[in-house]
Copies of this chain bind each other. A is one copy, B any other.
């Protein structure tokens, strides 16, 4: 943080007024290697699964990756990985980071606004209840999912109280949903995380019925 604030007083004040989510250093290298355009939806999914996998290897967070692409051209706008444990922030899910960075780059809180290309959010695993809302307010026009919510649940992650008809709830608001894209590859990253003893960091677990 050095150099950002002029004085100790200003630093103390900003502590009460700001938080930042940063992706790990290795992300830039992964993106350089892969280029910036991903024509087919499977290529887009392959990238975000790779990000989830690298996030495990670097021990920088949970086994989840996401990216926002121009739907037609496949041009990558922004990525995110889960950094809950690395950044000490429970908000730092992959989808939330990707959305926040995409909106920072575009300068728009509505990625579906006039004059924008249609964007889609590609995620290695179906969103939890927080990210379901995050997707809804972001302005993306399609959600593409790899692993199912139940795959995350099976390794111990809680999705929260998502309505049973969450797909319909997005579609009713004009957001298309595509599921099970490379599901098995995406699921295998979750299983690898569990087998490596990665922390299942949900603050509280749901009571079983």
Does A134 belong to the interface (CB within 8 Å)? yes
Contacts of A204 in B (CB 8 A): 112, 136, 139, 173-175
Using A4-B3, A134-B130 as known contacts, say yes or no to A19 and B101 having CB atoms under 8 A apart. yes
Report yes or no: B13 in contact with A112, Cβ–Cβ below 8 A. Answer: no
Interfacial chain B residues near A97, Cβ < 8 Å? 19
Quick check: which of A41-49, A144-152, A160-168 contacts chain B, the rest being far away?
A: A160-168
A155 to chain B, nearest CB (A): 17
Q: Which residues of the partner chain B approach A162 to less than 8 Å between Cβ atoms?
A: 163
Residues of B within 8 A of A113 (CB): 203
Q: How far does the Cβ of A207 sit from chain B's closest Cβ, in whole Å?
A: 5
Number of copies: 2
Q: Which of A14, A103, A128, A203 has most chain B Cβ within 10 Å?
A: A203
Contact assessment for B105 and A84 in the assembled complex, using a CB-CB cutoff below 8 Å: no
Most buried by B among A87, A130, A139: A130
Does the CB pair B136–A133 fall under 8 Å? no
A171 to chain B, nearest CB (A): 9
Residue of B nearest to A170 (CB): B161
Stretch binding the partner chain, chosen from A22-30, A51-59, A181-189:
A22-30
Chain B residues whose C-beta falls within 8 Å of the C-beta of A96 in the assembled complex: 91
Given contacts A14-B22, A16-B101, A85-B109, 14 further A-B contacts (CB under 8 A): A3-B4, A15-B105, A16-B105, A88-B108, A89-B103, A109-B201, A112-B204, A130-B130, A130-B134, A130-B137, A136-B203, A137-B203, A162-B163, A163-B163
Q: Is A35 an interface residue, CB under 8 A from the partner?
A: no
Give every chain B residue within 8 A of A138 (Cβ-Cβ).
90, 203
User: Hey, which chain B residues are within 8 Å of A23, CB to CB?
Assistant: 16-18
Q: Which of A49-102 contact B (CB under 8 A)?
A: 78-79, 84-85, 87-92, 96-97, 99-101
